[in-house]
Amino acid sequence: MTGVTVVPGPDGAPRCPWGLSTPDYLPYHDEEWGRPVHGDDALFERLCLEAFQSGLSWITILRRRDGFRRAFADFRITAVAAFTEADRERLLADEGIIRNRAKVDAALANARVLAGWEPGELDRVIWSHAPDPATRPAPRTFADVPAITPESTALAKDLKRRGIRFVGPTTAYALMQACGLVDDHLAECVARTRLPAPAAEGPAAPLGGPAA
């Protein structure tokens, strides 16, 4: 798919080809991916889900996001930080999520770290690594979309230094794409022309993103 440019959607409008690869992707591509996301709990959700996606396709996570939200108390940091060993065992037995021990443990550990941060600190840390849009020309094909960038490498290092686990440069860049720190919709994609609106914090806000 790296050399592919936009393709027409069911309404004839041009879109990134991944957004048409399954019906589940179309509304996600059009209304969620690349839109700015703010709020500590909302960004914690993205951190968790991008980590759970590691080694898997994003559609696997997207189709389970309601299950993840139920299992992780809508990703409220204070609630997840208070999870007990019984909660951990519940998560590892929950068929509605990805039952990966290392990823579950990382989500719980990260919540405990973040519970000690000041309100808004996670938002500030993540968004401090957003690149200047003027330095990023719109990609015309997926060959123009990187997997990692200096900014995603710096974000991953910053989060790791602060005690956050399971977020490498590739995961950090997927987070940046999904949360609107960068706009990697292709140049002629209809979603790129729509004005992004900041997402409210909470379970109804947009989620993660597919690897380019």
* Domain annotation covers residue 202: no
Predicted confidence at residue 168, as pLDDT, reads: 96
Predicted confidence at residue 162, as pLDDT, reads: 98
* Domain annotation covers residue 33: yes
* Domain annotation covers residue 113: yes
- Residue 147: domain span: 13-132+141-179
- Could you say which of 28, 32, 33, 45 is catalytic? 28
pLDDT along the chain (212 residues), means of 10: 80 94 94 95 97 94 97 98 98 97 98 98 98 92 92 98 97 96 95 58 44 40
* Domain annotation covers residue 91: yes
Q: What residues contact 44, with CB distance under 8 A and at least 6 apart? A: 75, 77, 80, 110, 111, 114, 122
Specify the CATH number for the domain of residue 21.
1.10.340.30
pTM: 0.88
Domain count, the chain: 1
* Domain annotation covers residue 126: yes
* Domain annotation covers residue 174: yes
Dihedral sign for Cα atoms in the order 138, 131, 154, 180: negative
- Could you say which of 18, 32, 45, 50 is catalytic? 50
* Domain annotation covers residue 116: yes
Predicted confidence at residue 142, as pLDDT, reads: 84
* Domain annotation covers residue 212: no
28 is an active site residue: yes
Q: Is 129 annotated as a binding-site member?
A: no
Predicted confidence at residue 4, as pLDDT, reads: 73
Predicted confidence at residue 2, as pLDDT, reads: 56
